[in-house]
Structure 1
Amino acid sequence: MSERKLKHVIVGVGATVLNMHRPALALDTVDLVGAMDIRHDAGRERADSLGCPYFTDYKEMIAETKPDVVVVMTPHTSHAEIAIHGLEAGCHVLVEKPIAVQVKEADAMVAAMRRTGRCLAVNFQQRFRPEIVAAHQLIQSGALGKIQHIDMVLSWLRTAAYFRMGGWRASWAGEGGGVLINQSIHDLDILCHLLGAPAALTGWTRTIQQAIETEDTVQAIFRWANGAMGSLFVSTAVGSRPYRLEIVGSQGMLQIGQGTIQYEAYEQDVREFIDTSPEPFGVLPGVPQEIALGDSTGAHVDVYKNLHAAILDGAPLLVAADTAVAALELANGITLASAQGGEVSLPLDRDAYAALLARYIAGGKS
């Protein structure tokens, strides 16, 4: 990679998200030239800790510093406005997840990326987890055969104290959703990254425990165009359950956990076995396979390194915005399906979801 440093500015320096980015901001390719936040006392303190000037207006900061990269770490509802401004100012942009709160905004961001020719990356660092990289390679190679079923179960227990940390959390106006758009958006992205977007879905969103506006628990069912089916359960209101992603194909299956992956290859394609086995209750053995894992970490550093390589050397941008819209589309789609009480086809009706979100923000959720 080129040794040239890239000038970076940060919009939004909230303590939690900033701490996640600090190791990446220490990369040799980063020259941090400015930080901005609407909370001026805390913003100045964090800018001082980063060793960079503090600004009170992000547009003035971009105009004055002329950065190569604008890093957007604000609440979700402002992502689209700030990212589009950065792109149109000639900057590359890295935006925290989710890309936006609704697909209509994300479409506008992707259009700005294409119009300006700048990089727009989304911080979906979990694509770089070694087990996800290995799973992606296996699926792309065809080793699993025809994908038949997907099951994803995960939870992140959150207490009332968590939701009191910021007034914007778990509100329709401030966050644009609950567990779907905050905690599970990474996992929806992994689902689409590995398998492509479903063709249709149905789902149920509930608030079963938390004193919040938005959903804390979700069950969804997916249909893919190739006939595969899948299910998803996510919650911040149940006791912690192990992360589990199971992908079953006609020639093998994957079981993915947090930092783990198990791969079994069938001795025969299950479709052929069903047609030819003389045994009415036949058993198709699976043979465990060794999987070599790479040295990526699934941390923010991986996203920054990839973005810098794309800018400096023309490397493929592995978390480009146009590949990140699918996860948001699933989150929006599940919310719409729950409200309508039926199946929703993808691509999602942008106007229908925009109208639903506007009603929820106005306090019209039943």
Structure 2
Amino acid sequence: MTKLRLAVVGVGAYDSSRARGYIDVISKLDDRYELCAICDRNRTPLDEVGDRHGIDARYTDFVEMLEAEKPDAVFVLVPTDGQTPHALTAIDHGCHILTEIPYALTLPMGDAIAQAAAAKGVQWEVAENVWRWHNEQLKQAIIDSGIIGKTTHARLCYTHGSYHGFNGVRSVLGKRARRVLGYTQRIDVLPFTNYGGEPETTRVWDSGTIEFEEDVVCLYEMPASPSPHEIHWDVEGTHGYLAHRELVVFPDGERVTYPIEEGYEKIVGDQILSEVRVETDPPIVWHNPFKQHRISSTDDIAKAEILTSLHRSVTEGADLVYGHAAGRQDMELWVAVHASHERGSQWIDLPLREETAVERRIREEYVRRYGGDPVSDYQVLLGASFGRLSVMWTVAGWL
């Protein structure tokens, strides 16, 4: 198997950060990747990660790393506001790229990255993890089997970063959204500390209706916290439904429930997830393709799927399993909810091709905060200090 030389920019400030989780998984996929270099402006976490994984090539300057190491691919794991400048810079240097979610701060910003990658002839994979969780992959197989009949509608509740939830629903349904009707409101809540460590007393509450192909409809809500609702999405069909970790069907008018069950194997002393299944007749089963790599947790499996997608695309010419086009579809649904609200909750047809009002405000806040546009001024913005709290949160309450 051909190995790709992969460099990472942004190693995370904490052991629990998503960046460090990805680096752990990259290290396990050593038949696919050589983790050739890491970069972070903060020397302390850079050395922590370098020492842990035995990486000698450590840089605090991104361009210096690209020019010295000449990696095949770059994983951009810097904070959300820094994703676009770093992605465009990596593309300039002829690198394939992986970027964190979402597609971009706005659709036009993501479109600029896609156009730059196409012009340079490099691949761009977006690290959306939800649809690659093992339960979600099993649900996709359940829907494809036809056991719940024709899908009719879905319900989605996601308390933050709703592009994740849209991704889960859209992938399970296997259909493209046609139009969106939305309503949003900023409401008072109990005092809390936001993602950037700042006190706040309001949250944005989103709701909407999404119409997919074949007249399948999803009812969506992003409630404020604290809320009686937790993250979940359900899908109903003419013969049954999927809810949480259960498949329910109605053969001959009787209710039959099939819980999603997990199976484990002992590999090198550890209990590793081997499969998830429902005991229908015949059983519907998803097998863990990474068990020999001892990758077992829900999110680590998704991370391995994402990394393998880029590897196969570059080394074998395979299609990306997600790609920027799918990333755009998921982000577009959230943008459309706000665009609908701003037009008096009118239906918004998809795809969106023009910058919306909420996207314009996000871009303007970005320029105000950092002193430049992430697309036209991306080279000078590499030196900016990007905090954890994105301009998306400031403007629209999005993480």
CA positional deviation for 1:68 = 1.3
Q: Does 2:73 match 1:69? A: yes
Which structure 2 residues correspond to residues 18-167 of structure 1 after superposition, within 5 A?
18-26=19-27, 27-28=29-30, 29-50=32-53, 51-155=55-159
Distance in 2 between the 1:298 and 1:12 partners? 19
Q: Does 2:345 match 1:342? A: yes
Which structure 2 residues correspond to residues 301-312 of structure 1 after superposition, within 5 A?
301-312=304-315
Give per-residue Cα distances to partners, 1:322-351, cap 9 Å, x unaligned.
211111111222233334431332212532
> For the Cα contact (< 8 Å) 1:135–1:194, is it kept in 2?
yes
CA positional deviation for 1:248 = 1.5
Q: Does 2:328 match 1:325? A: yes
CA positional deviation for 1:23 = 2.5
Match of 1:245 in 2: 233
Match of 2:249 in 1: 264
> For the Cα contact (< 8 Å) 1:8–1:30, is it kept in 2?
yes
> 1:71 is aligned with what amino acid?
F
Give the 3 Å change call, closer, same or farther, for CA 31–337 of structure 1 in structure 2: same
Distance in 1 between the 2:169 and 2:150 partners? 16
Give per-residue Cα distances to partners, 1:341-362, cap 9 Å, x unaligned.
3133221253224323245666
Match of 1:7 in 2: 5
Give the 3 Å change call, closer, same or farther, for CA 301–342 of structure 1 in structure 2: same
CA positional deviation for 1:96 = 1.1
Give per-residue Cα distances to partners, 1:144-179, cap 9 Å, x unaligned.
444321101244xxxxxxxxxxxxxxxxxxxxxxx3
Sequence identity percentage: 20
Structure 1 unaligned spans of 5+: 156-178, 268-283
Give the 3 Å change call, closer, same or farther, for CA 6–219 of structure 1 in structure 2: same
Given candidates 182, 193, 200, the residue that maps to 2:179 is 200
Give per-residue Cα distances to partners, 1:176-208, cap 9 Å, x unaligned.
xxx3xxx33322212222333422221324344
Give the 3 Å change call, closer, same or farther, for CA 87–153 of structure 1 in structure 2: same
> For the Cα contact (< 8 Å) 1:205–1:335, is it kept in 2?
no
Match of 1:217 in 2: 205
Distance in 2 between the 1:142 and 1:251 partners? 9
Give the 3 Å change call, closer, same or farther, for CA 364–69 of structure 1 in structure 2: closer
Distance in 2 between the 1:364 and 1:239 partners? 22
Query: By percentage of residues, which structure has more strand?
Result: 2
Given candidates 187, 211, 215, the residue that maps to 1:227 is 215
Task: Give 3-state SS (helix, strand or coil) of 2:103's partner.
Answer: coil
Task: Give 3-state SS (helix, strand or coil) of 1:324's partner.
Answer: helix
Distance in 2 between the 1:46 and 1:352 partners? 40
Distance in 1 between the 2:37 and 2:203 partners? 36
> 2:8 is aligned with what amino acid?
I
Give the 3 Å change call, closer, same or farther, for CA 261–307 of structure 1 in structure 2: farther
> For the Cα contact (< 8 Å) 1:205–1:218, is it kept in 2?
yes
> 1:6 is aligned with what amino acid?
L
> 1:231 is aligned with what amino acid?
L
CA positional deviation for 1:142 = 4.7
Relative to the length of structure 1, the TM-score reads 0.76
Distance in 2 between the 1:7 and 1:189 partners? 29
Distance in 1 between the 2:246 and 2:256 partners? 14
Task: Give 3-state SS (helix, strand or coil) of 1:293's partner.
Answer: strand
Match of 1:189 in 2: 167
Give the number of equivalent residue pairs.
318
CA positional deviation for 1:292 = 2.3
Q: Does 2:293 match 1:315? A: no
Task: Give 3-state SS (helix, strand or coil) of 1:350's partner.
Answer: coil
Comparing 73-82 with 189-198, greater Cα deviation is found at 189-198
How large is the Cα RMSD of the aligned pairs? Answer: 2.9
CA positional deviation for 1:90 = 2.1
